[in-house]
Structure formats: structure tokens, C-alpha cells
Amino acid sequence: MEWSPPIAQRYKINYDAATFVEDNQAGLGVVIRNSEGHAMASLTQQIPLPTTMIEIEALAARRAMELALELSLDNITLEGDNETLFKALKNRDTSLAMHGHLIKDILFLSSYFSTFNVSFVRRQCNPLAHSLACKTKSLPLMTVWMDTVPPDLVSVLQADLSSLP
């Protein structure tokens, strides 16, 4: 399985998180691509390490939604590799779990888009977002790249594009 682009006139937003337990930090990675697979924007952000992995993934998803809104994008698919988060968003489950407020935030932000879908993929189909999340270890400030990805990750983007029909 490989990354697949969204349908025409839509954007796919891939997100992921990485943990750096020894530094008590986590990294968020986001990439927004159009139907041709071209990067519209990418983001890395280091944050203090939350308690659970689901919280970290939910924070990455929320940051992805915020970036899409900041760029005035519409018609989006939010795609990540955490199945628990995917199911909570798909079922609109705003439980009382520690991450329930983050699910509520994401669902609230989703109301600003004409079309909002969630998608689950395995880690191997989300390599660019994962690489961005890992990059925060050496790039601790929040950084956004417009119309591209960091130069050292262009090969990861190209690998995704080379698999497209």
C-alpha cells in the first residue's frame, strides 16, 4: 500500500506524531497535498510530551485542521495512522477520555469545511507526515513550508508521487 491522492478539488491532510521520551518532547508533522499529490504546505512543531500516544496524535490532527483553516482550504480529508483516533472522529465520539476534549476541538474545526472526511492508513502509507514529525527532534521551533516540504524530505514526497498512476 502507498499514499493515494484525494479526488479532484479536494485536499488530503496527512498528520503524524513522534515521541522523544528522553527529552520529554513530542513532534507533530503535517503535510497538505492536492489531488495531483503536490505539497500545498507542510509543518513541523515540537511540543511538551503529553501523557498518552492518542493525545499526541489528536494534537497533531488538531494542528493539521488549524493549518488548513489558516490557509483557507476547503473540502478536506484528514488522514492519519492511529486507528483509535480515526474511529473516534468517524463516530464523532466525544467521550470523557483524557483526549475527549481534543476530539471535540477537531470536530468543531471540521464544521468550517464544506466537505470533511477522515481516513485511516497504515504507517507505511504515511511516511512524509511521520518524517516531518521526526524532524522536530532537530528543528524544535514550529516551522511551516509553503508549496513544498523541507529540502531533506523532497525524496520522501517524490517517492509518494512516483507510485501514482
Question: 146 exposed, middle or buried (CB, 10 Å; 0-12, 13-18, 19+)?
Answer: exposed
What class does CATH assign to 11-156? alpha beta
User: Which pTM value belongs to this model?
Assistant: 0.94
The set of cell numbers assigned to 154 is 523532497
8 near 77, Cβ under 8 Å?
Answer: no
pLDDT in tens, 118-146: 999 988 889 999 999 999 999 878 999 99
Displacement of CA 30 from its chain's centroid (Å): 4
pLDDT in tens, 81-93: 999 999 999 988 7
